[in-house]
Amino acid sequence: MGYYVTAADNVKIYVEDLNPECKKTILFIHGWPGDHNLFEYQFNQIPKLGYRCIGIDVRGFGKSDRPFCGYDFGTFRCPCSQSD
């Protein structure tokens, strides 16, 4: 199941969330220049073992927003933070 969360600077970050009812969770964060689809094999196999798999598209990649700015180390250091 995919959905969006809003980062502190109002940028929408795409989240792919498989097996959300499971307590054991693995977070997948891609590198440059990929997106959550890099983990296609893992998303197909690991949930069958009883794990929740969460993959995000960091800003500027995949289904996430592509703002003009905000690509500095300070912004990228925690791609999972979001506003209240």
Total domains in the chain come to 1
Identify whether 26 is part of a domain. Answer: yes
pLDDT digits (tens, 9 = 90+) for 19-78: 999 999 999 999 888 999 999 999 999 999 999 999 999 899 999 989 888 777 777 666
Nearest alpha carbon to residue 69 among 11, 2, 14: 11
Identify whether 45 is part of a domain. Answer: yes
How far apart are alpha carbons 80 and 27 in whole angstroms? Answer: 10
Answer whether 42's CB lies under 8 Å from 18's CB: no
Whole-model pTM over 0.85 = no
Identify whether 75 is part of a domain. Answer: no
Identify whether 9 is part of a domain. Answer: yes
Identify whether 81 is part of a domain. Answer: no
Identify whether 76 is part of a domain. Answer: no
Domain housing 36: 2-56
Give Cα 59 to chain centroid, integer Å. 9
Identify whether 73 is part of a domain. Answer: no
> For residue 69, with 0-12 CB atoms within 10 Å meaning exposed, 13-18 middle and 19 or more buried, which class applies?
exposed
Identify whether 33 is part of a domain. Answer: yes
